[in-house]
């Protein structure tokens, strides 16, 4: 990673911020984007303290022109691009039957189209460097999660897009990877949208028992260096993917039970 240029979307908190620190400490020059200017400044201060060469770009990647601006400013500042980490994301939690459809559009715009837009403008430069395109996805990209229809759809879409892209560039030296952390201690559940599009606030899960964002970032760094095609980071996640492939009906029941046990679950467990 020495002197490699790495763009990290959603780089001001959680996994994105942890990636900025991990890749920066490995010698990379990092570019972090985010919508919140104050969070950008705060993260930049941390990177400066650790003597990590960096650039901050205030950008909402769900808007195509701002995604284009992010890549343009990166190239203008550093002269090239080696790694793109599509990390910007938002979640939602509500029954589909109760959901305002604008919530699904907002989730898709950030999680899926944000990935598409930045990748579109970054790809010509990554083709030159024979670098990496990475999508931070979720087990929800392998297995739909009840109460998170929009989030699951966005991650399925991201993974399908990146799988197709991987195949397109397989003879051009570009590395494409999907990283699936499983449940990670971050702010994504705190900022998840409810049925009406408002932020739910308190996380419904025990954050203290989850994998840390730092651990996730370290694994993403190592997997990028090894140019792996995918990485599923938890045993629970690997087991879920396996069960869903071979025993889908059983997985429906098990996933329902797990999600129904969440605090203030939007649906109640139905016993037959």
Query: Across the strands, what pairs with 58?
Result: 34
How does DSSP classify residue 110? I
Catalytic annotation present for 117:
no
3 state DSSP class of 88? coil
Instruction: Provide the Cα torsion 153, 159, 164, 170; round to 10°.
Output: 170
Q: How far apart are alpha carbons 137 and 177 in whole angstroms?
A: 10
Calculate helix-pair angle for 248-260, 235-246, nearest 10 degrees: 140
Residues 6+ apart with CB under 8 A from 79: 5
Residue 72 contacts residue 244 (beta carbons within 8 Å): no
Q: Which member of 121, 142, 151, 256 is catalytic?
A: 151
Helical residues (DSSP H) of the chain, grouped into ranges: 14-25, 37-49, 64-78, 101-108, 114-129, 149-168, 213-225, 235-246, 248-260
Neighbours of 37 (CB within 10 A): 11
From the list 256, 251, 17, the residue with the least C-alpha distance to 142 is 251
Q: How far apart are alpha carbons 216 and 218 in whole angstroms?
A: 5
List the catalytic residues. 151
């Amino acid at each position: 990673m020495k002197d490699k240029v790495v763009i990290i979307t959603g780089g001001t908190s959680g996994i994105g911020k942890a990636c900025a620190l991990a890749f920066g400490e490995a010698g990379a020059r990092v570019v972090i984007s985010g919508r919140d200017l104050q969070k950008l400044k705060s993260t930049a201060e941390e990177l400066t303290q650790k003597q990590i060469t960096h650039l901050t770009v205030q950008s909402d990647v769900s808007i195509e022109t701002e995604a284009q601006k992010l890549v343009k400013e990166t190239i203008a500042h550093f002269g090239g691009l080696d790694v793109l980490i599509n990390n910007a994301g938002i979640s939602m939690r509500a029954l589909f039957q109760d959901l305002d459809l604008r919530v699904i559009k907002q989730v898709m715009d950030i999680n899926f189209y944000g990935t598409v837009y930045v990748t579109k403008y970054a790809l010509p430069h990554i083709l030159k460097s024979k670098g990496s395109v990475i999508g931070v996805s979720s087990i929800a990209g392998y297995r739909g999660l009840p109460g998170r229809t929009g989030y699951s759809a966005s991650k399925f879409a991201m993974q399908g897009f990146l799988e197709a892209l991987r195949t397109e560039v397989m003879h051009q030296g570009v590395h494409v990877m999907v990283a699936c952390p499983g449940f990670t201690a971050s702010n994504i559940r705190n900022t998840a949208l409810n049925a009406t599009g408002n932020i739910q606030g308190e996380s419904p899960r025990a954050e203290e028992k989850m994998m840390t964002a730092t651990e996730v970032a370290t694994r993403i760094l190592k997997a990028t260096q090894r140019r792996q095609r995918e990485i599923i980071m938890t045993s629970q996640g690997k087991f879920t993917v396996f069960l869903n492939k071979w025993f889908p009906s059983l997985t429906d029941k098990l996933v329902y039970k797990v999600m129904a046990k969440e605090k203030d679950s939007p649906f109640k467990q139905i016993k037959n």
